[in-house]
């Protein structure tokens, strides 16, 4: 009994220290009504839809930039790398900032950044200016991740896998409409006037986030800064702690996220995914332009086809697969099938065949983000809102390297040959997921066997 009391006291001490070290949680801990949860989902789904409108725009923009600015494959690779590099600081910072300013204000900041980047792109007069605009846009795109991660992990923890699939399905809905609309608009203006399209895109994003806030109104006050401030007032002040600032920071880093091996395994998975998927998104448009002389609107439809495959895949998996197979097995098997379909796509003799194979590949690839976030929510638990963006930030190293590697190889051996590197990264991801699953299950069986053995020894004493 004395040992039990000591354990309880130790747990209470840890909880108090956690409150001091982390003066704000992703979401206030007050009970949330059913109606409030509905409006929270409306806000989050709307935010992700706006993200989806822009998330795959590079597939359409890069072929246009290549002609308008007379860029070679290496320059295109650098442009894409700068874009994804801009997401790295957003992924590392967004979780901590969202904890402080709360998801509502953080979402506004993300969409305003996306719109501002589009306007900077559209008004730029040089390649460097275009890159700056792209980086601002992708900073906002990366920022959105922490918002829905925080909400799902803390408000809907029991439904996290299904909701992550549905959130990613809404992202795909936005991606169905965004690239084709951008492609059609670019096709109707002169090649040198492409910037006008992006100026209006940025203005539209600003307007749409304003409409979303008006619709949700005070019904999402639970996600607002004032709710977070009220929650913080009920906690021990950091000044009441005997620790100094350096000790509190060290404790936060050591006892929060960075001491969990799952964070780095998730980061490795995202690195491999980005090395594969980012190259698909960045270079497929150029491949079909070179091979089939595809126009901007056709590339937009191709990107929309990918988004439809992702949408159908995520709805199917949320309805029929979620909860029936472990997240790591789902991710590993799905990604392996997606890579087989991508290899078939490299032999496609026509655009119609590319459309069909890209749809099927995207169907299986749709498991990636939802399954990864579900793994993060399960393994990082209460620190998922911070840990998942950090894992994506680690994975952004793959985003940074992928276009550069492919651009260099395309210049050396041709793009068609360089694209065969993508399945190599994809199958490595499959191996990591299945190996992680097997090792952890083996450890659990060993621990259970040891526990049963000890119980047997105690009984027979």
Domains of the chain, residue spans: 23-233+255-459
pLDDT confidence bin for 30, thresholds 50/70/90: low
Task: Name, in order, each residue with C-beta under 8 angstroms of 45's C-beta and a sequence gap of 6 or more.
Answer: 166, 167, 170
Q: What pLDDT, on the 0 to 100 scale, is given for residue 161?
A: 64
Cα of 282 vs its chain's centroid, Å: 17
More confident residue, 383 or 342: 342
Distance (Å, rounded) from C-alpha 371 to C-alpha 96? 23
Q: What pLDDT, on the 0 to 100 scale, is given for residue 250?
A: 55
pLDDT confidence bin for 327, thresholds 50/70/90: confident
Mean pLDDT of 357-371: 88
> Which of the residue ranges 223-232, 300-309, 452-461 would you say has the lowest mean pLDDT?
223-232
pLDDT confidence bin for 274, thresholds 50/70/90: confident
Which of the listed ranges 123-137, 170-184, 282-296, 298-312 does the model predict with the highest average pLDDT?
Answer: 123-137
Instruction: Name the residue among 49, 50, 81, 87 with its Cα closest to residue 391.
Output: 87
More confident residue, 180 or 34: 180
Whole-angstrom Cα Rg for the chain = 23
Q: What pLDDT, on the 0 to 100 scale, is given for residue 455?
A: 65
Distance (Å, rounded) from C-alpha 132 to C-alpha 360? 34
Q: What pLDDT, on the 0 to 100 scale, is given for residue 72?
A: 86
**108-397-392 Cα angle (round to 5):** 45
Residue 240 has pLDDT above 60, yes or no: no
Average pLDDT of the chain? 80
Q: What pLDDT, on the 0 to 100 scale, is given for residue 253?
A: 52
pTM of the complete model: 0.68
Share of the chain above pLDDT 70, in %: 80
Distance (Å, rounded) from C-alpha 21 to C-alpha 250? 9
Q: Which two tokens stand for residue 261?
A: 């091996």
- Phi and psi at residue 419, in whole multiples of 5°? -65, -20
pLDDT tens digits, one per residue of 413-440: 888 899 999 999 999 999 999 999 999 8
pLDDT tens digits, one per residue of 149-185: 778 777 777 776 678 778 877 888 898 899 889 989 9
| CATH architecture, domain 23-233+255-459 | Up-down Bundle (1.20)
- Report how far apart, in Å, the C-alpha atoms of 139 and of each of 119, 297, 368, 400 are: 14, 26, 21, 13
Residue 305 has pLDDT above 60, yes or no: yes
Task: Name, in order, each residue with C-beta under 8 angstroms of 50's C-beta and a sequence gap of 6 or more.
Answer: 111, 114, 174, 205, 208, 209, 212
Residue 39 has pLDDT above 90, yes or no: no
Q: What pLDDT, on the 0 to 100 scale, is given for residue 228?
A: 45
Q: What pLDDT, on the 0 to 100 scale, is given for residue 313?
A: 87
Mean pLDDT of 298-323: 85
DSSP 56-124: TTHHHHHHHHHHHTT--HHHHHHHHHHHHHHHHHHHHHHHHHHHHHHHHHHHHHHHHHHHHHHHHHHH-
Which of the listed ranges 50-64, 282-296, 369-383, 419-433 does the model predict with the highest average pLDDT?
Answer: 419-433
């Amino acid at each position: 009994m004395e040992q039990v009391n000591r354990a309880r006291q130790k747990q209470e001490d840890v909880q108090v220290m956690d409150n001091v070290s982390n003066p704000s949680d992703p979401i206030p801990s007050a009970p949330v009504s059913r109606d409030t949860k509905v409006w929270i989902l409306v806000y989050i789904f709307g935010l992700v839809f706006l993200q989806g409108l822009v998330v795959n725009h590079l597939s359409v923009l890069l072929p246009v930039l290549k002609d308008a600015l007379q860029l070679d494959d290496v320059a295109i690779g650098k442009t894409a790398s700068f874009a994804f590099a801009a997401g790295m600081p957003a992924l590392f910072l967004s979780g901590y900032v969202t904890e402080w300013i709360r998801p509502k204000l953080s979402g506004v900041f993300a969409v305003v950044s996306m719109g501002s980047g589009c306007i900077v792109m559209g008004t730029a007069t040089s390649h460097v200016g275009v890159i700056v605009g792209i980086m601002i846009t992708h900073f906002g795109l990366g920022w959105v991740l922490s918002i829905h991660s925080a909400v799902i992990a803390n408000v809907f923890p029991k439904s996290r896998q299904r909701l992550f699939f549905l959130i990613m399905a809404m992202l795909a809905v936005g991606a169905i409409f965004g690239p084709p609309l951008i492609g059609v608009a670019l096709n109707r203006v002169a090649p040198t006037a492409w910037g006008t399209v992006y100026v209006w895109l940025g203005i539209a994003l600003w307007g749409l986030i304003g409409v979303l806030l008006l619709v949700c109104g005070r019904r999402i006050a639970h996600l607002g800064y004032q709710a977070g401030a009220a929650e913080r007032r009920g906690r021990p002040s950091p000044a009441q702690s005997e620790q100094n600032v350096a000790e509190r920071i060290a404790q936060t880093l050591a006892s929060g996220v960075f001491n969990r091996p799952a964070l780095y395994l998730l980061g490795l998975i995202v690195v491999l995914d980005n090395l594969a998927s980012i190259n698909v998104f960045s270079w497929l448009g150029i491949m079909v332009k070179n091979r089939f002389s595809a126009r901007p609107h056709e590339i937009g439809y191709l990107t929309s086809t990918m988004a439809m495959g992702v949408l159908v895949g995520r709805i199917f998996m949320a309805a029929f697969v979620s909860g029936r197979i472990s997240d790591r097995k789902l991710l590993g098997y799905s990604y392996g099938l997606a890579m087989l379909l991508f290899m078939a796509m490299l032999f496609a003799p026509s655009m119609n065949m590319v459309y069909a194979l890209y749809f099927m590949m995207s169907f299986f690839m749709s498991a990636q983000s939802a399954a990864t976030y579900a793994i993060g929510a399960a393994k990082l638990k209460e620190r998922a809102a911070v840990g998942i963006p950090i894992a994506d930030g680690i994975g952004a190293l793959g985003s940074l390297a992928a276009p550069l590697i492919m651009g260099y190889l395309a210049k050396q051996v041709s793009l068609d040959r360089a694209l065969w590197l993508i399945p190599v990264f994809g199958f490595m991801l499959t191996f990591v997921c299945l190996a992680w699953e097997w090792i952890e299950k083996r450890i659990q069986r060993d621990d259970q066997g040891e526990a049963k053995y000890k119980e047997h020894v105690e009984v027979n004493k």
